[in-house]
Amino acid sequence: MEVAWIYLLMIVAGVSQTFAREDLSRKVFVFRHEPSEAYVILRPLLKEPLQNFTVCLRSYTDLTRPYGLFSYATHSEDNEVLIFKPKPGEYRVYVGGEHLSFKVPDNSFDWEHVCFGWESASGIAEFWMNGKPWPRKGLKKGHVVGTDAFVVLGQEQDSYGASYDSYNSFSGEMTNVYMWDFLLSPHKMRSAYQDLQLPHGLLDWKNLQYEIKGDVVVKPRLR
C-alpha cells in the first residue's frame, strides 16, 4: 500500500513537471486569434552552446502585418535565434541580435516551408524556402548560441520569456517545426520540405515537447 502511494506521488509529480511530448505528424498548431496573445513554448534538448544550427518550419496565414514565427531568446539576447516575417515578400532571420533579410515571392498564397541554417566558423547563413536554397549570406561569424534558451512559436520575445507584442503575433497554422545542432545537408533540407525521414534533432515535430499558452489548438492537417 505504502509503495503504491509513493509510486502514485512520483507519477503525479513527474507529470506536473513534464510538458506534453507528442508525435505531431500530420497535425498543425492553429493560432486562432488575430491579433493573438497566444504562443507555444518548446523545450530544445540543449547540452552545449551551438556552433551550428538549422531551424525548419511550415506556416500558413493570410497576415500581411509583421509576425514572429520562431523566437529563441537567451538571458543576454532576446533575438538570439529568430525567424520573423516583417511583411509579405520578406523573411528576416536573426542570430545573436543581428539580422539578414531574404526576399521571397509575395504573390503566392500557400503554405510556406522555410529552413534557416547557420554555421559559426564561417558565419554563413542558409535560407531555404519550399525546398530551394536562396543565395547564401553571412552574419555573426564566431558567435556561439547560448543554451539558456526560452523558445516560443507564434510570438517574438523582447525579453527572456516575456515582452510579447501582439501586433507581431502569428495567426494561422504552423507545422513541421524542427531544430538541429548542425547545418542540414542540401539533401536533408529537401527532405524537410518534403516531410520525409529526418535526423533526430534538438526539436522534433515527431517527438515534440511543448506547452500551449493561450488560444492555440492542435488539429489534423487539412491537406
Ligand X SMILES: *[C@@H]1O[C@H](CO)[C@@H](O)[C@H](O)[C@H]1NC(C)=O
Which stretch in 32-40, 50-58, 152-160, 199-207 sits in contact with Ca ion by CB under 5 A?
Answer: 152-160
Residue 63's Cβ-side half-sphere holds a number of Cα atoms within 13 Å equal to 29
Give me the least distance between CB of 121 and ligand X, in Å please.
5
- Helix (H) / strand (E) containing 138: strand 137-138
DSSP 26: T
Asked if 78 interacts with Ca ion (CB under 5 A), we say yes
Asked if 121 interacts with ligand X (CB under 6 A), we say yes
204 binds, among Ca ion, ligand X, none (CB under 5 to 8 A by kind): none
Give me the least distance between CB of 78 and Ca ion, in Å please.
4
Asked if 182 interacts with ligand X (CB under 6 A), we say yes
Give me the least distance between CB of 177 and ligand X, in Å please.
21
Asked if 155 interacts with ligand X (CB under 6 A), we say no
- Nearest residue to 156 via CA among 88, 71, 85: 71
Q: How far apart are CA 63 and CA 172, in angstroms?
A: 8
Instruction: Specify the 3-state DSSP secondary structure of 88.
Output: coil
Asked if 195 interacts with ligand X (CB under 6 A), we say no
